[in-house]
Chain A
Amino acid sequence: MAIKDLARQELMHPGAGSCPGCVDLLSLRMTLKALGEKTVLVIPASCTASIECSYPKTPFQVPVLTMAFAASGAAASGVAAALKRLGDDDVNVVVWAGDGGTYDIGLQAMSGAMERGTNFIFICYNNEIYSNTGIQRSGATPFGAWTTTTWTGKSEQRKDMLGIVMAHRLPYIASASPSYIEDLYRKVQKAASIKGPKYLEFHTPCAPGWRFPMEQTVEMGRLAVECGAWPLLEAVNGKVEFNLRSKQILDGKYERKPIEEYLKAQGRFAHLFRPERDEKALAEIERWLDAEWEHYRQLASCGVAAA
């Protein structure tokens, strides 16, 4: 898969309402290229509402069911059931939820849809905050990050969402980053080729929310992977494989960049360095990162139970 091989077809019209440099929109644009027009999107309350624009206009060239915050998994089950009745069940049913709509308020409905075997792809675009409501902490916010509900930095580590989803024993789970666009595209197509519930999570840096210049958004996503703050992996029937840089890190072929390089590039972590270094918090971040990679190492070596 090379960039030249990405579909030419654009299913997002230009002129959407998202912030400049938004990789939620970039990820959507690429996902729809990968899926094609036979797709129905279910979108709970999230930043994507700004992409949807205002009635009576929309940039989407596939059908979109805007959904209540907590309910997108259940709505996907309803869409899939109706498609079956209509004899249209080769249509991709895709939830497009933020981390709030996945890790937090959307968790129950997502879990239910996965358990009942709904034929759909749940995609979480994870910008690690409630960005649409103005940068509040979510279950995906990393330790130490400033948000408008954690003014002195979040005091808990993020939820292991991939672990929670793996416990559902799905046929396909992947994490990706729009900074590695061919990998993201390939994973969407892979998910679409498999029947049953699938989960994809895209790490989507948010320039206004994380406090960095918008032109660096794609670089920030790449840096997250290079520093080990975000893994690229996929699990087919429970067998976990890491991809690209993340695989190289595990194979000892690439040394994780210092996490401070990533932290210092974002205003949300500025208080960890000014007015003086918060050694305790920085040590906790290092400890957690090492533990994560030890966990990844175990996942790569033994996988999880098969679907």
Chain B
Amino acid sequence: MTTMFDVGNKVAAKAVQLCRPEVIAAYPITPQTVIVEELARMVQAGELSAEYLCVESEHSVMAATCAAASMGVRTFTATSSQGLAFMHEMLHWASLSRLPIVMINVNRALGPGWSIWVDETDSMSQRDTGWIQIYCSTAQEIFDTVIQAFKLAEHRDVQLPVMINYSAFTISHTMMPADILSQEDVDAFLPAFEAYWRLDWRNPVTFGNVISDEYAMEKRYTMYRGMEAAKQLIPEIAREYEQTFGRYHGGLIEEYRLDDAEYVLLAMAAIGSEAKVAVDNLRDKGYKVGLGRMRVIRPFPDEELRRIGKGRTLIALDRNISVGSGGVVYHETRSAVLGVEGCKVYGYLAGIGGRDVTYEDIEGMALKVINGEADPDVVGWWDLKDTGGK
């Protein structure tokens, strides 16, 4: 085992290299670019044996990736924000094709105006596309999750693409240590990919022709079943990884200091790690606060939230917004815990468009709720400036 000390994106590229993708199609976009630059360098330096396609748009990235995966080979790509939005049509294509593509999306705000800073509205806008969505908080978690993601996507019971998300700059461009596995270790954990279908002239099939209502609904149902299987398999694969390599970052939700907690913060990615500091500080001040770090948004961890929410107050921190509704984690959590005894849900929008969210901000939001100064039916805007009456 070696230790890397590098930015999140470089650690991600290292993990991808060890997973031996056969085809990588890519288009640059800040702040994920470092990943695809590094993979291109690896391929050109002979450190990674793969076909690397420089395509002309993100829509084409996902089309080329789907096409390669349809031929039965392992594929990877990465994107952010506008790029992910441009892929939207092909994201549905990938999941309906049951292709185990793994993609990193570095969360970045959508324009206009142009913003390269973190905001999770990009991936949250894609949560109905049939992709498993995992959110990471550290370089080490990215490394370990990439390897687990291929195993998950390629599992017979899943056969769905996986999107690994993490925060622009605060994770993508921040130097962090990460322990790196050897190629032999990764090969043992992640066997070569055996496709469940492929286009092959020796066994010619037509993929994707017209499908009538007689069959279409069942295709969605079996996708849904794949997602349900992922709910079981994400924690299982994480535990298998822990048993093999000794590292564990949580299942669908990482539970931090929950034992006697009366208040539970729900947060993800960069805010998810910052919230641990806030929890420690609040604990030091005598408040019974814990953290549920949301690692997985699709499939949504309903059962875990119902268990965690029983008799507790949940405080969802959303760095995303569905305008006209509110934060996605807040609303989906409210829906999940409906009828759970003694559970209240509060929601804050924080850090939208990349505004920094410090542990002090998080403590501030928690204290508003604890001190009875917040309304559970109204989404709070944290650190909102005066908009001049507009």
By the criterion CB–CB under 8 Å, are B208 and A112 in contact? no
- The interface residues of chain B lying within 8 Å CB-to-CB of A86 are 71-73
- The interface residues of chain B lying within 8 Å CB-to-CB of A68 are 59, 63, 89-90, 93
Question: Is B200 interfacial (CB 8 A cutoff)?
Answer: yes
Question: Is A70 interfacial (CB 8 A cutoff)?
Answer: yes
Report if A82-B51 is in contact (Cβ < 8 Å); known contacts: A39-B201, A52-B210, A65-B199: yes
By the criterion CB–CB under 8 Å, are B93 and A84 in contact? no
By the criterion CB–CB under 8 Å, are B67 and A65 in contact? yes
Contact of A56 among B199, B204, B215 (CB under 8 A): B215
Contact of B71 among A38, A56, A82 (CB under 8 A): A82
CA distance A68 to B63 in the complex (A): 8
For B65, the closest partner residue in chain A by CB is A78
Contact-size category for A: 35 or more
For A92, the closest partner residue in chain B by CB is B201
For B61, B90, B209, the residue with the greatest tally of chain A CB atoms inside 10 Å of its CB is B209
- The interface residues of chain B lying within 8 Å CB-to-CB of A37 are 201, 204
Question: Is A64 interfacial (CB 8 A cutoff)?
Answer: yes
Question: Is A71 interfacial (CB 8 A cutoff)?
Answer: yes
CA distance A199 to B93 in the complex (A): 26
Question: Is B23 interfacial (CB 8 A cutoff)?
Answer: yes
By the criterion CB–CB under 8 Å, are A54 and B63 in contact? no
- The interface residues of chain B lying within 8 Å CB-to-CB of A66 are 206-209
Question: Is B45 interfacial (CB 8 A cutoff)?
Answer: no
Question: Is A91 interfacial (CB 8 A cutoff)?
Answer: yes
Question: Is B66 interfacial (CB 8 A cutoff)?
Answer: yes
- The interface residues of chain B lying within 8 Å CB-to-CB of A76 are 67
Contact of A71 among B63, B205, B207, B210 (CB under 8 A): B63
Question: Which residues of B in the span 186-238 have a Cβ within 8 Å of any Cβ on A?
Answer: 199-201, 203-212, 215
For A38, A42, A49, A63, the residue with the greatest tally of chain B CB atoms inside 10 Å of its CB is A63
- The interface residues of chain B lying within 8 Å CB-to-CB of A91 are 201
Report if A58-B206 is in contact (Cβ < 8 Å); known contacts: A74-B55, A78-B64, A78-B67: yes
For A11, the closest partner residue in chain B by CB is B204
- The interface residues of chain A lying within 8 Å CB-to-CB of B209 are 49, 52-55, 58, 64, 66
Question: Is B53 interfacial (CB 8 A cutoff)?
Answer: yes
- The interface residues of chain A lying within 8 Å CB-to-CB of B200 are 63
Nearest Cβ on chain A to B54's Cβ, whole angstroms:
6
By the criterion CB–CB under 8 Å, are A78 and B57 in contact? no
Question: Is A73 interfacial (CB 8 A cutoff)?
Answer: yes
Question: Which residues of A in the span 68-117 have a Cβ within 8 Å of any Cβ on B?
Answer: 68, 70-79, 81-86, 91, 108-109, 111-112, 115-116
Report if A53-B23 is in contact (Cβ < 8 Å); known contacts: A74-B64, A84-B51: no
For B73, the closest partner residue in chain A by CB is A82
By the criterion CB–CB under 8 Å, are A54 and B212 in contact? yes
Nearest Cβ on chain A to B79's Cβ, whole angstroms:
14
Nearest Cβ on chain B to A287's Cβ, whole angstroms:
36
Question: Which residues of B in the span 363-378 have a Cβ within 8 Å of any Cβ on A?
Answer: none
Question: Is B137 interfacial (CB 8 A cutoff)?
Answer: no
- The interface residues of chain A lying within 8 Å CB-to-CB of B57 are 74, 108-109, 112
By the criterion CB–CB under 8 Å, are B212 and A64 in contact? no
Nearest Cβ on chain A to B42's Cβ, whole angstroms:
16
Interface of A is mostly: mixed
Nearest Cβ on chain B to A216's Cβ, whole angstroms:
29
For B59, B65, B89, B201, the residue with the greatest tally of chain A CB atoms inside 10 Å of its CB is B201
Contact of A74 among B59, B203, B212, B215 (CB under 8 A): B59
By the criterion CB–CB under 8 Å, are B205 and A79 in contact? no
For B207, the closest partner residue in chain A by CB is A65
Nearest Cβ on chain B to A43's Cβ, whole angstroms:
9
- The interface residues of chain B lying within 8 Å CB-to-CB of A62 are 201, 204
Question: Is A248 interfacial (CB 8 A cutoff)?
Answer: no
Nearest Cβ on chain B to A126's Cβ, whole angstroms:
22
For B50, the closest partner residue in chain A by CB is A85
By the criterion CB–CB under 8 Å, are B22 and A55 in contact? no
By the criterion CB–CB under 8 Å, are A75 and B64 in contact? yes
By the criterion CB–CB under 8 Å, are B67 and A108 in contact? no
Question: Is A214 interfacial (CB 8 A cutoff)?
Answer: no
Nearest Cβ on chain A to B154's Cβ, whole angstroms:
16
CA distance A40 to B70 in the complex (A): 11
Question: Is B60 interfacial (CB 8 A cutoff)?
Answer: yes
By the criterion CB–CB under 8 Å, are A55 and B212 in contact? yes
For A75, A91, A108, the residue with the greatest tally of chain B CB atoms inside 10 Å of its CB is A75
Question: Which residues of B in the span 103-127 have a Cβ within 8 Å of any Cβ on A?
Answer: none
Question: Is A166 interfacial (CB 8 A cutoff)?
Answer: no
By the criterion CB–CB under 8 Å, are B56 and A71 in contact? no
By the criterion CB–CB under 8 Å, are B215 and A81 in contact? no
CA distance A75 to B89 in the complex (A): 14
- The interface residues of chain B lying within 8 Å CB-to-CB of A111 are 56
CA distance A56 to B218 in the complex (A): 13
Nearest Cβ on chain A to B171's Cβ, whole angstroms:
29
Question: Is B68 interfacial (CB 8 A cutoff)?
Answer: yes
By the criterion CB–CB under 8 Å, are B60 and A109 in contact? yes
Question: Is B25 interfacial (CB 8 A cutoff)?
Answer: yes
- The interface residues of chain B lying within 8 Å CB-to-CB of A108 are 56-57, 60
- The interface residues of chain A lying within 8 Å CB-to-CB of B89 are 68, 70
Report if A75-B63 is in contact (Cβ < 8 Å); known contacts: A55-B211, A63-B205: yes
Nearest Cβ on chain A to B273's Cβ, whole angstroms:
36
By the criterion CB–CB under 8 Å, are A71 and B211 in contact? no
By the criterion CB–CB under 8 Å, are B206 and A77 in contact? no
- The interface residues of chain B lying within 8 Å CB-to-CB of A263 are none
- The interface residues of chain B lying within 8 Å CB-to-CB of A81 are 23, 25, 51, 53, 64, 68
By the criterion CB–CB under 8 Å, are B211 and A78 in contact? no
| A-B pairs, 9 with minimum CB distance | A78-B67, A66-B208, A74-B60, A71-B63, A112-B56, A82-B71, A78-B64, A58-B206, A81-B51
- Supply 15 A–B pairs (Cβ within 8 Å), ascending by A: A58-B205, A61-B204, A64-B206, A65-B199, A66-B209, A71-B59, A71-B90, A77-B25, A77-B60, A78-B63, A78-B68, A85-B23, A85-B51, A109-B60, A109-B63
Known: A71-B60, A72-B63, A82-B67. 15 other contacts (CB 8 A): A42-B67, A54-B209, A54-B210, A58-B205, A58-B209, A65-B207, A68-B59, A71-B90, A73-B60, A74-B61, A74-B64, A83-B71, A85-B23, A109-B56, A112-B55
Which residues on B are within 8 Å of A, measured CB to CB? 22-23, 25, 50-51, 53-57, 59-61, 63-73, 89-90, 93, 199-201, 203-212, 215
